[in-house]
């Protein structure tokens, strides 16, 4: 089971602004600034109200081809909300929210490319789609 992800981004300030808007649609409204130290990078973490900072950003040289992230949404409506928030915040559409029956009868997802081109999937698997 995954606990957290650290994503390397080219411009920390720009990516924090983007993810604050996009992840808020999924209820991830808490943000923490971890200043780091000589042996640990500066990180910005996002969490839902449970305090588990599951999504972290650090500045560096991103490699969008090397990673795919899938984030669970509580509903199909939340998938749609993330998509609209991400696009409004400057993301680019890869796949609009829709049923992805090739993955299962309950699979409803969207894929959006963030400002660095990272492929971010948001998926809901709790209700039959068709």
Q: Where are the domains of the chain?
A: 5-124
What would the pLDDT profile of 88-97 be if each residue is shown by its tens digit? 999 999 999 9
CA–CA dist 28, 53 (Å, integer):
9
Name the burial class of residue 112, with classes exposed (0-12), middle (13-18) and buried (19+) by CB atoms within 10 angstroms of its CB: buried
Structure tokens at 68: 């795919």
What would the pLDDT profile of 37-64 be if each residue is shown by its tens digit? 888 899 999 999 888 899 999 999 999 9
Q: Which fold has domain 5-124?
A: 2,3-Dihydroxybiphenyl 1,2-Dioxygenase; domain 1 (3.10.180)
Lowest mean pLDDT among 16-20, 32-36, 96-100: 32-36
């Amino acid at each position: 089971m995954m606990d957290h992800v650290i994503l390397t981004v080219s411009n920390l300030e720009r990516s924090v602004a983007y993810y604050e808007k996009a992840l808020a649609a999924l209820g991830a409204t808490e943000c923490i600034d971890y200043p780091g130290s000589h042996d640990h990078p500066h990180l910005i973490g996002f969490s839902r109200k449970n305090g588990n900072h599951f999504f972290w950003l650090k500045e560096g040289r991103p490699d969008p081809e090397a990673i795919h992230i899938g984030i669970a949404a509580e509903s199909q409506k939340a998938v749609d909300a993330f998509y609209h928030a991400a696009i409004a915040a400057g993301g680019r559409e890869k796949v609009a929210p829709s049923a992805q029956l090739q993955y299962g009868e309950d699979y409803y997802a969207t894929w959006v490319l963030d400002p660095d081109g990272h492929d971010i999937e948001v998926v809901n698997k709790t209700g039959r789609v068709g």
